[in-house]
Structure formats: structure tokens, C-alpha cells
Structure 1
Amino acid sequence: MLESHYHSDSSSVKSPRHLQADCENCFGLCCTALPFAASVDFAVDKPAGQPCHHLQSDFRCGVHNNLRPLGFRGCTVYDCFGAGQQVSQVTYGGRDWRAHPESAKQMYEVFPVMWQLHELLWYLNEALTLEPAREIRDELELALAETEHLTQLTPDSLVQLDVAAHRAKVNILLLRTSELVREEAKLKYKQSQGRPKKGIGRGADLIAAKLKGANLSGANLRGAYLIAADLREADLRGADLIGADLRDTDLRGANLSHSIFLTQAQVNAAKGDAATQLPLSLIHPAHWPSSGK
């Protein structure tokens, strides 16, 4: 059950549809515009602006159902926050880069900018559902409207946009939201959960850390390195996970039901099971086991 103590109402927790990837209405931009290097996440190298050799003429992935076995785990983790269909159908009005090759280079430059704007929209929409942030609601709504406006700019304007400056401005509000939520979480959860772990904080190096069953409620884990950390059965309610690296983090049985600023991409990169509790806006990845055993 969602606790109204943290969210204004359960219906508002679901992420807006335009912030969910709709590959049917995208021109395969993540498979084309972005580079990847041969690694544990990708089987081959691919430079930016070059279509993946698995991309079909209809802009669909030819190996979508076998990405992990074929060595393309990174593709199953990535989430564009709906930027792909925005660029394809709105910014370029349905004119794809194959039929209009003269627009390809610019479209590939616009896509990462739109991705950053849509990521901010994700965080701002979530912040507006968090009851402890009600005192800055007007500022959050203003930032949301401004960011939405930026997503409607022309391709030329988007390429010239100082998106880093806009992110920095929005981040001030997200930081304030985090402080308000975490302050309340510490009061709500830690009284009965024992003492919090030491050495936990923003940008902390927690690679392979042994944190099974840890009380991390209300923790500031912004940008923390949690790669391959053991967080089984840990309490992460009210923890700020914006930008935390959760690659291969073991979240089996962990409670992230009221974690804030967690994204589907982070969840996809982690290891979990049916007992892992997630915020209502996120789903258990298909590659997670369907039982807690």
C-alpha cells in the first residue's frame, strides 16, 4: 500500500505517458544516435550516428527478444524517458532520418538534449507527488512548465540550448525536495529500524559494499557508487537515489517502495526479485526472477 504520508495520492504516482518510451513512434534514435563500446554491456563497438547493425528498416530491433544472450545487456537497461518519440514525432514532425538524410546529423544532436529535458521532467513530476515538498510546490510547477516549454523548441534552438544551465537550476529544487523528504523519512522510519549505517552519503564509494539488511531510510545516496553492492533486504524508504550507480546491485528483498528519484534504467541495471519493493511508477524488469527463491 502507498502511504499518503509521502505521496499526495496514488493516482498521481504513475509516470506521465509521454515520459515512457514508445518505441513504436521512435526512429530508433537510441540505436543510432548514441555510441557504445564493446564491454560487458555491449558485444561490439558502435560510434555515435551509426545505426546498430541489428536495427531493421522499420526502426525496430531485430534481436529484441535475445539482447541479453547476445551480449547487449546495455540495451535492456537504457531508458530514454520518452525523448525518442518526442524528437521523432514532435520536433521533426514524423520526418525520419532515412527518408530525410539531410536531417540525420542534427536529429542525432537533438536527441541527447531532449533526453536530458525528459529526465528532468521525470524528476519534477515525481517531486510534485511528494507531500513533504508541498511548501515548494509552486516553484516545482514553474520549473516543470519551463522544462515542458523547452521540449517544444525547434531543432535549431534545441541544439543551441544550454541544457547544463537549466539542469543546474532545476537541481536546486530537486535538492530541496530531497532534503524535505529525507528529513521526514528519518523521523518516520529510523525510530524503529535501528541505527543507520555510517559512511553513507552523496557520491559515496560503496562498490561491493556489504549492506545486507542495512537501515538506509532517508539516506542521501545521490551519485553513490553501489556497483555490485549487497543491499538484500535493506530499507531504502525515503532514500534519494538520483544518479546512483546500481549496476549489478543486489536488491533482492529490499524495500525501495518510497525511495525517491529512482528510474527504471537504474532498476533494470540492478538485480532483484519478486520480493523487491519498488515505487508504483516502476516495474520489475523481465530479467528478474519471478519468485523470491
Structure 2
Amino acid sequence: MTFVRPPHLRADCSECFGLCCVALPFLAGPEFAFDKDAGRPCPNLRRDFRCGVHARLRETGFSGCAVYDCLGAGQKVSRLTFGGRDGRDGPDEQGAAERMSEVFPVMRQLHELLLYLTEAESLPAARPLRGELRRALEEITGLTHGSADDILAVDVWSLRERTVPLLLRTSELARARRPGPRKDHRGAQLAGARLRGADLRGASLRGACLIAADLGGADLRTADLTGADLRDAELSGADLTGSLFLTQPQLEAARGSAATRVPYGLERPAHWRTAASTGR
């Protein structure tokens, strides 16, 4: 079972006007070196819309930026919704810049739903639901191609309410292929939990808080990791192959090693320490 994220759901900073560096707010703390308000360009954003400290994000106090992924929303808003207007020069561009900052977070949420639905449709176990998944994909894809006004009018909460049950049914079908009992840790508070070597095959960890949890050597094959908070979670030696709905930002937020088995289609984070590896 493999899933490779399609190009339109991958961030391409070369086609974006640095929207995440403008639209999103952050507060000084462990993940950001200083405060920034929504809609205000980050001081590290260069004239060419590239980050001046991108190669040194963690070293300069911006680990929060290192784990962020717009899932392709940035280039879609920049190039499709606003037709390549960068919101920088000209008498009417200030308004466009402000609108882009409003549209971008909505587009990011729509792309997140597209990512989960696309992976769900690719699962062999999802065959009975493929028609429903395809219709949901077509609906949300159509929304992302609307005007700025159309996108801002989208009721994302209602859309999630209709989409999540379909994803849950898909998860159940995929995890049911794992024989035997399956642990249900959906939404569980497992911060700092000692789960080293745990058999979590087919478990539901949707929305679980696993901050700083020890998952070293754990077997997470076919586990549903939708929205699980893996910040500083220890994944050294863990087997994540075949896990469901795991994203690159989740891996980037965790700690791992060369022995961590990463699903095909995702990349081993560069900051993970090097160790002898028996897996990918």
C-alpha cells in the first residue's frame, strides 16, 4: 500500500508570493524567534518572496516554519485565484495583498481535505467507498477553483462535518484488514506516554496528543494518524510503513533516526539524527 502525494498538493515556493510568510501570525516562543501579526510580512521575507533564513530555520529559532506545509495552497492562490498578481506594486495591489492573506488560510484547509481524500481514494480497502470519495474530491476541487469571493464564502466547518465521516469509514475499512483487536486512542491525551515497542498496528490515533511520547520501536503499520500531534515524539526505530494519513509536517515535528521506517512517498526529515538503519 503506497501513496504518493500528487504535485498539486505539494508546496512550490517558487510559484508562491510568500503567502505563509505574510498571512499567518505567530508568537515568540520555542517555535518562533519573535511575534508576527497576520497580514504583516515576516522580516525574513525577501523581495523575491523567498525566505532569507530558509536553510537555517531551526538554527535561527523558526522550527515552526520548518514543519509548516501549505500543501500547494500558496501557489494556487498566487497563480490561479489572483492570476499572478503579487499584491506588491500598483495602486490596486494593496487590496489584492490583503485579500490573498484572507483567502490563503481557507485554501490551505481545502487542500488538507483534498490530501486526505486523495489518499483515502488510493487505498485498496476503500473500493466500496470510491464513488463517494470521488464525488467529495470533485466538489472540493471545484471550490478551490472559484474566485476569491467564492472561496471566502465557503463554510469550511460544514464541509469538514460532511467529509470526516467518509474518511472515518475509509479508515475503518483499511484498518479492518489487520487481524485481531485494534487499539482506539482517538483524541487521547498521550503526551509523554511510554509506548516504546508498542504494537499499534491498525490503531486509531486520530487527533491524539502524542507530544514528547516515546514511540521508539513501535509498530504503527496501518495505524490512523490523522491530525495526531507528534511534536517531539520519539520515533527512532518505529515502523510507520503503511500508516494512514500521516503527513510530512508530522514527521518534521517528530524526532527519529535512520532506523525509523518511513512510508513510501514521504521524506526522512533532514534534522533526524543519523543512526544505523535496517529500514528505509
TM-score by length of structure 1 reads 0.91
Q: 1:76: which partner in 2?
A: 66
Q: 2:103: which partner in 1?
A: 110
Q: Which amino acid aligns with 1:57?
A: R
Cα distance in 1 between the residues matched to 2:191 and 2:242: 23
Q: Percent identity?
A: 56
The one of 136, 143, 148 aligned to 1:143: 136
Q: 8 Å contact 1:97–1:103 — kept in the other structure?
A: yes
The alpha-carbon deviation at position 196 of structure 1 amounts to 6.6
**Which range moved further: 28-37 or 158-167?**
158-167
Q: 2:10: which partner in 1?
A: 20
Q: 1:3: which partner in 2?
A: none
SS at structure 1 position matched to 2:201: coil
Q: 8 Å contact 1:196–1:215 — kept in the other structure?
A: no
Q: 2:241: which partner in 1?
A: 257
The alpha-carbon deviation at position 64 of structure 1 amounts to 0.9
Q: 8 Å contact 2:210–2:228 — kept in the other structure?
A: yes
Q: 8 Å contact 1:274–1:291 — kept in the other structure?
A: yes
Matches of residues 19-98 of structure 1 in structure 2 within 5 Å? 19-98=9-88
The alpha-carbon deviation at position 243 of structure 1 amounts to 0.8
Cα distance in 2 between the residues matched to 1:43 and 1:138: 46
Q: 8 Å contact 1:196–1:214 — kept in the other structure?
A: no
The alpha-carbon deviation at position 292 of structure 1 amounts to 3.6
Q: Which amino acid aligns with 1:38?
A: A
**Which range moved further: 29-38 or 102-111?**
102-111
Structure 1 stretches of at least 4 aligned residues deviating more than 6 Å after TM superposition: none
Cα distance in 2 between the residues matched to 1:81 and 1:54: 21
Q: 1:182: which partner in 2?
A: 175
SS at structure 1 position matched to 2:107: helix
SS at structure 1 position matched to 2:117: helix
The alpha-carbon deviation at position 289 of structure 1 amounts to 2.1
The one of 141, 152, 159 aligned to 2:145: 152
Q: 8 Å contact 2:221–2:242 — kept in the other structure?
A: yes
Q: 1:214: which partner in 2?
A: 198
Cα distance in 2 between the residues matched to 1:159 and 1:70: 34
Q: Which amino acid aligns with 1:260?
A: L
Cα distance in 2 between the residues matched to 1:184 and 1:277: 20
Cα distance in 2 between the residues matched to 1:162 and 1:205: 29
Cα distance in 1 between the residues matched to 2:13 and 2:276: 31
The alpha-carbon deviation at position 290 of structure 1 amounts to 3.3
Cα RMSD, aligned residues only = 1.3
Q: Does 1:235 align with 2:228?
A: no
Q: 8 Å contact 2:182–2:202 — kept in the other structure?
A: no
The one of 198, 221, 225 aligned to 2:209: 225
Unaligned stretches of 5+ residues in structure 1: 1-6
The alpha-carbon deviation at position 286 of structure 1 amounts to 1.1
Q: 8 Å contact 1:252–1:292 — kept in the other structure?
A: no
SS at structure 2 position matched to 1:128: helix
Matched residues, number: 274
Q: Which amino acid aligns with 1:208?
A: G
Cα distance in 1 between the residues matched to 2:259 and 2:70: 27
The alpha-carbon deviation at position 110 of structure 1 amounts to 0.4
TM-score by length of structure 2 reads 0.95
Q: Which amino acid aligns with 1:55?
A: L
Unaligned stretches of 5+ residues in structure 2: none
The alpha-carbon deviation at position 178 of structure 1 amounts to 0.8
The alpha-carbon deviation at position 279 of structure 1 amounts to 1.7
Q: 1:267: which partner in 2?
A: 251
Cα distance in 1 between the residues matched to 2:276 and 2:109: 35
Cα distance in 2 between the residues matched to 1:178 and 1:227: 23
